[in-house]
Structure 1
Amino acid sequence: MRIPGRWVLGDPVDEQGQEIDPWQFREGRHLDLRGPLRFLQVHPGCALDFSIAGSAIPVVHGRVVSVFERLKLQQQVQFLPAQVEGESGPYFVLNVLRIIRCIDDARCEEVLYWKPEDGRPDKVGQYRNVAGLRIDPSLVGDAHIFRPWGWRVVLIVSDNLKQALEQEGLTGLKFTEV
């Protein structure tokens, strides 16, 4: 939202306009979806190469796909064809296939967990909030892009991938060291 005049994309729908479960894109698994996903512009504006649509779904232009292909990182992601209302360019949902347990609680600014008194027994012991995210890089291995276990609202990329994306001059990206 930091880019003035940028578009805002909603949650995905299928070719018939039926809503698609947006949470499945955070599960770190290969998805078998039929037909291209469609995204409406909730707020029309300037197209971006990298956008976060409703429910934290990464929507990327084909230029992003080219970077992953050049770096031979296709095994770490799945690119699902997508159509963005009013745009002809090739767009894709970036489905990240790795979830890694790597959050370094002690180095984060604040970590809150769901407790029994919060009234959500299904979430007790899970992260409720993570501020100032920090990870333990020794737990990442050879991953160049992943979501951290327990806090899948963010994407983490390696320095090599970050540099390649920046060199491509892609719009909509923002990096914060973790």
Structure 2
Amino acid sequence: MSLFDVRPDDSIGAWFLDTPHYENGEEILGLEFRRGQRWDREKRLRTSVYSEGVRVSFCRGGRGTFYIASHLMRVLRSVISDDRLEGIPVEISGCSEEYEILNVLDIVDCVDEDRSEFGKWTESGGRPEMIGRYRGIPKMVLDGGAVARA
């Protein structure tokens, strides 16, 4: 199994895209794209530029969403099988270039919680949809057995 640690370069002053939403304005939480499930909704997704900056091919956006230029998604699809990731077309206001939202399909529960340092969302966090999920992981240790089995 290959592990990928993909991060945008935050030092270049890249643009920051807003939370994705449907045409009617209903927002979609970024965690929807990290559940390991194909996106089966027919509605077109949209977003806008939240903070101006350098237009880049890969960036993080509102609610933890990853936006990727379609030309870069084609490259990813050439090296990563389509049962591991999906690109969902998204329209960006004022941008003629095609972008997609990265939807991760290959989720492996491999955090060694006994050796990691982390916090999890609770009821008092005010985000009921996040209860039980990791809130922050300052020290992450992977369970080698879980990774090897994946």
Alignment TM-score, normalising by the size of structure 2 = 0.75
Q: Counterparts in 2 of 1:157-172, with a 5 A limit?
A: none
Quote the Cα distance in structure 2 between the aligned partners of 1:115 and 1:85: 35
Amino acid at match of 1:48: V
State the superposition RMSD in angstroms.
2.8
Quote the Cα distance in structure 2 between the aligned partners of 1:75 and 1:5: 33
Alignment partner, residue 51 of structure 2: 43
Q: Counterparts in 2 of 1:80-95, with a 5 A limit?
A: 80-95=88-103
Alignment partner, residue 58 of structure 1: 66
Q: Counterparts in 2 of 1:10-159, with a 5 A limit?
A: 10-14=18-22, 16-22=23-29, 23-108=31-116, 110-113=117-120, 123=131, 127-141=134-148
Cα distance change, pair 40–17 in 1 and its aligned pair in 2 (3 A) = farther
- CA deviations on 1:32-91 (whole Å, 9 max, x unpaired) are 122431110011221111111111011101232122222142111111111222222221
Cα distance change, pair 21–113 in 1 and its aligned pair in 2 (3 A) = closer
Alignment check: 8 A CA contact 1:36 1:80 kept: no
Alignment check: 8 A CA contact 1:11 1:19 kept: no
- Number of matched residues? 138
Offset of residue 107 of structure 1: 3.8
Alignment partner, residue 6 of structure 1: 14
Three-state SS of the structure 2 residue aligned to 1:6 is: coil
Offset of residue 137 of structure 1: 3.6
Aligned-pair identity in percent equals: 25
Amino acid at match of 1:20: E
Quote the Cα distance in structure 1 between the aligned partners of 2:121 and 2:19: 26
Alignment TM-score, normalising by the size of structure 1 = 0.64
Q: Identify unmatched segments of 5+ residues in structure 2.
A: 1-8
Quote the Cα distance in structure 2 between the aligned partners of 1:84 and 1:38: 6
Quote the Cα distance in structure 1 between the aligned partners of 2:47 and 2:125: 34
Quote the Cα distance in structure 1 between the aligned partners of 2:137 and 2:13: 29
Quote the Cα distance in structure 2 between the aligned partners of 1:57 and 1:119: 20
